[in-house]
Structure 1
Amino acid sequence: MTTIEEPVAGRTLSKEEAYTRIKSALFESTDPEEVYSERSLSKRLELGLAPIRSAIGRLQNEGLIVVLPNAGFMLKPMTHRAIADFYEVRMVVEAHVVTSLTGRVGPAQKQQIEAILVQQADCLLDNDARTFHRLDMGFHIALARLHGNEEMIRILERLEDRMHRISVELHGRHPERLRPLVEQHHGILDEIVSGDPVVAGVKLRDHLAWGRSMIVNRGQHF
């Protein structure tokens, strides 16, 4: 594996690890319009310029950032249209997942999903928002994996970064919104297990619509 030196820590860091750290720093910023430079990130994360440049190129290719000539780069603004498209895709894919799964989830599979919800509840007690946000989309991807359609799984995995960003922005300043998310997840799972596909689909759509409305009501973009 190609490695990159991390000068201050005095150890080698893989490109993948460097990319993950840099992406996390961007997504967890409290200012979505902050402009970053290579050198400011290098100093902040104690990384050399090589892994910074590698991550910038990858993030740009993935459509997550925009490069500003002679200024640096910033997270790509999510417009109303982008948010609407994001949630429309999720509505279509995930509604099919939950209705198809209804009545097909056994005790072991239910326990697997419940474990994610237990972890989310623990995050609330520990004020661990970072892990909570990761588990938020993890719940939905876990359901897709139980369903088994590989294309649907890949679609949701590709949306995971944007979901993390939305979750941080939506709930970062309003931690009181986190508990209702867990309750909604429990409600979706209960309906999947109970064998009522119509109600399961409604609860999933209501859950996503709730998140979408919170974002849209914040303003034109973030």
Structure 2
Amino acid sequence: MSKLPRIKTKESLAEKTYRILKQAILELDFKPNQPLLEEELAEQLGVSRTPIRAALSKLAFENLVKIIPGKGTYVADLSYKDMIDTFNVREVMEGLAAKLAAESVKQGELRKLESVLNSQKQLTEQDPLDIRKFTALDNEFHYLISEMSGNEILKEQILRLKEKFNRYVVSHKTLLIEREKPVIEEHYRVLNAIKNKDANEAEQAMRKHIIYIKQALEENMNLEKK
């Protein structure tokens, strides 16, 4: 089992435990279907089993772990169907977020979005690509657009879906290296549509971006099966 940092701060133990375990799952430090033993986790984090149980319950609610009565707790699998379902919902939700963002864009928000995208573009000029930083900026770009939509429920759901999606990206790192430049181009199309307050174009550009990533990931997974 991956080594975890011991908890020393006064932050809520359950919350910090949840955050650490969630990060380990999203970054695939804990592999799909890996058993998670309460006693082991408690020892590594230096906490009792109570915050471990609370954290695992929360992660189960988010479908990141499976709690099987009488058998134990396991990291959720990365199924093909789950991936497709995630993409289909992301396409609709993020398309709507981009549309709403274009309808009510503010200059301050636009500058922040441009700054994030410019930083992401600069990363593509480095060799090798820093995948962790690239992914973090990609997350921020999508998160900012969901925030600009002004719809809190939409923002919350997009964040959760993006986190699930990142597990697939981490497990197929070559996909990012192959698509780093197309991703930037697609992001700029979304940005320009929002800047021009073209709501329909912003929605379509975002939906196409999500579709292209889905298609690339499907191709990548099919190649790995051969």
State the TM-score bracket (shorter-chain normalisation): 0.7 to 0.9
Compare 101-110 and 21-30 and name the one that shifted more.
101-110
Does the CA-based 8 Å contact 1:104-1:193 persist in structure 2? no
Alignment check: 8 A CA contact 1:170 1:214 kept:
no
How many Å apart are 1:200 and its aligned residue?
Answer: 3.0
Structure 1 residues 162 and 43, CA gap change in structure 2 (3 angstroms): same
Match for residue 15 of structure 2? Answer: 16
Q: Which amino acid aligns with 2:58?
A: R
* Aligned-partner residue type, residue 214 of structure 1: A
**Structure 1: how far apart are the matches of 2:69 and 2:97?**
43
Provide the residue aligned with 2:91 in structure 1: 91
1:143 Cα deviation after fit: 1.4
Identity in percent: 24
Aligned-residue Cα RMSD (Å) equals 3.3
In structure 2, stretches of 5+ residues that fail to align are none
Cα-to-partner distance string for 1:161-212 (whole Å, 9 max, x where unaligned): 31332332343x5441462323321221122223444443332122101222
Contact persistence 2:175–2:216 (CA under 8 A):
no
Q: Which runs of 5+ in 1 are unaligned?
A: 1-5
SS at match of 2:208: helix
Instruction: Give the structure 2 partner of residue 55 of structure 1.
Output: 55
Q: Report the counterpart of residue 180 of structure 2 in structure 1.
A: 179
Which deviates more from structure 2 when the two are superposed, residues 122-131 or residues 184-193? Answer: 122-131
Match of 1:3 in 2: none
Q: Aligned with 2:32: secondary structure?
A: coil
Distance 1:127 1:115 in 2: 19
1:35 aligns with 2:35: yes
| Residue identity in the other structure for 2:24 | A
Secondary structure in 2 matching 1:25: helix
Shift of 1:19: 0.9
8 A contact 1:105–1:192 mirrored in 2: yes
Shift of 1:67: 2.3
Q: Is the 8 A contact 2:65 2:76 kept in 1?
A: yes
Structure 1 CA distance for aligned equivalents of residues 165 and 114 of structure 2: 21
Which amino acid letter does the alignment assign opposite residue 25 of structure 1?
A
Alignment of 1:128-207 (within 5 A): 128-171=130-173, 173-177=174-178, 179-180=180-181, 181-207=183-209
TM-score normalised according to structure 2 size: 0.74
The secondary structure found in structure 1 opposite 2:35 is coil
More off after superposition, 65-74 vs 126-135: 126-135
CA distance in structure 2 between the aligned counterparts of 1:209 and 1:10, rounded to whole angstroms: 43
Contact 2:101/2:150, CA 8 A, preserved across alignment = no
- Alpha-carbon distance in structure 1 between the residues aligned to 2:48 and 2:123: 33
